[in-house]
Structure 1
Amino acid sequence: MILNLTPHPIRLYTPDRPDGLDDLELGLRLVIEPKARPARLGVVPLSTEYRDGVPVELVQYGTAVGLPRRAEGVSFIVSLALALALAPRRDDLLVPYREVRNATGTVIGCRQLAQPV
């Protein structure tokens, strides 16, 4: 079972679906709707410094917020940032891969899912 823990639907298209089209249905294989509560990459602010008068917050990333524990036979679609942060410890995290773009270049889906390692 694959659960979507991003805040938006994941549209999976056939491998030959061309980019540059606004038709959301052409080549659509599956839509994985998001769960009510998305998983996020937690942020811990450490301190603020200034560079050329611009405030820059030093932050620590790496904790997950809203990510369920592993469950047998379950994979979770999450943001790339979250999957990369947890890749060494979690092999159940998937991300959209081989994006499909519309006429204006906006990502509308993907052709596959990937597991960062």
Structure 2
Amino acid sequence: MLLNLTPHPIRLYADEREDGSDVLDLHLRADIPPEATPARLATIELGTCDGVELVEYGHARDLPPKRDGVRYIVSLVVALALADRRSDLLVPYREVRNASGTVIGCRQLAQPV
């Protein structure tokens, strides 16, 4: 089972889908709607040093625990922050772009390691 913990739908396209088309359903394999609460990368403010805010990253917020048979689609920053601790996180990979260059989906999902 795939759960989409990004704030937007994830469209998975077949490999033959070329960039540059505004037709959303052309070679569409799956459209995965987002869950109600997206996973985010939380921050911890550590204070200010020489006028620069020191911030600790790497803590996920609203990310469910691992469950057998479930993989979570998350943003790249969330997956990279937790790559050494979570093998159930996937990210969109090989983006598909429309005629104006906006990302509208991807051809694969990837697991950052």
Report TM bin, short chain.
Answer: over 0.9
- Is residue 2:104 matched to residue 1:108? yes
Q: Deviations over 1:10-46 (max 9, x none)?
A: 0000001000111111111100000001010111122
Between the two proteins, the alignment pairs up a number of residues equal to: 113
What TM-score do you get using the length of structure 1 for normalisation?
0.92
Question: After TM superposition, which residue ranges in structure 1, 4 or more long, deviate above 6 angstroms?
Answer: none
Q: Which runs of 5+ in 2 are unaligned?
A: none
Q: Which runs of 5+ in 1 are unaligned?
A: none
How far residue 49 of structure 1 moved from its aligned partner, in angstroms, is 5.0
Whole-Å separation in 2 of the counterparts to 1:64 and 1:21: 35
Distance verdict in 2 for CA 1:56–1:22, change over 3 Å: farther
Distance verdict in 2 for CA 1:11–1:43, change over 3 Å: same
2:79 corresponds to which of 77, 80, 83 = 83
Report the counterpart of residue 22 of structure 1 in structure 2: 22
User: How high is the sequence identity, in percent, across the aligned residues?
Assistant: 67
- Is residue 2:63 matched to residue 1:67? yes
Whole-Å separation in 2 of the counterparts to 1:56 and 1:20: 42
Q: CA RMSD in A?
A: 1.2
What TM-score do you get using the length of structure 2 for normalisation?
0.95
Report the counterpart of residue 97 of structure 1 in structure 2: 93
